[in-house]
Structure 1
């Protein structure tokens, strides 16, 4: 008799738990924010080419110039804009062993490995990438505060 009551109470509790209205939770993706250390306007100049990058709380903007004229290939990645559930702005969630953060466009090869340093007594973002002519070699460039 006790077993029947126990089974009946357990079934009633299970039925009540399954049919009880559940509060719906909408899962909004979180905005991607950049580290305060990297934010600001920065430029890199080499021979007749200049590249400007602007990093704000939610955006990463890149402009390319050659001989003072704007070139194609400029873009802005926003941490508030999503394609499906993927943010346009990609930012690594951890810092590498050498202190670099990966930032750039999601789902593309347009990314920068950046670290804030002092170079020739000025604040700069140190950026390394692989040499396109020899992928075994790394190239280092410095973006100075504008």
Structure 2
């Protein structure tokens, strides 16, 4: 009789330990991934609800015409727009070959003191591609025409 009670107690301990291990591992995975997930925001969303300066996110839209300025060294300044709002961007680095005004782009970085400080800039990679998030943001503002640019995947 004491043996059955001991087995039952041991089984409960094993199940409880497995449940605790599952909760801890799920929490650790979520904690590890929090910096790896960069949410996409359109310029309109950034202006309506500015993110915290510590938050890293992706912004996308069209490089606004007349705003591209090359500064000293590798610093580049321009604005990205979705037709509803424009966000100034500063980037220190080498831009992709296909980067130009009125073309789609996606940047990763942080919004600090009213300027998006990009750590990475991606441009469309051919005549017909634009990231889906950028197309959706442009459609929302009524800027995107289906025959101008092909849909991204």
TM over 0.5: no
CA radius of gyration, larger in: 1
Instruction: Identify which of structures 1 and 2 has the higher relative contact order when contacts are C-alpha pairs closer than 8 Å and 6+ apart.
Output: 2
TM-score for the superposition, normalised by structure 1: 0.27
The structure whose residues are more often helix, as a share, is 2
TM-score for the superposition, normalised by structure 2: 0.26
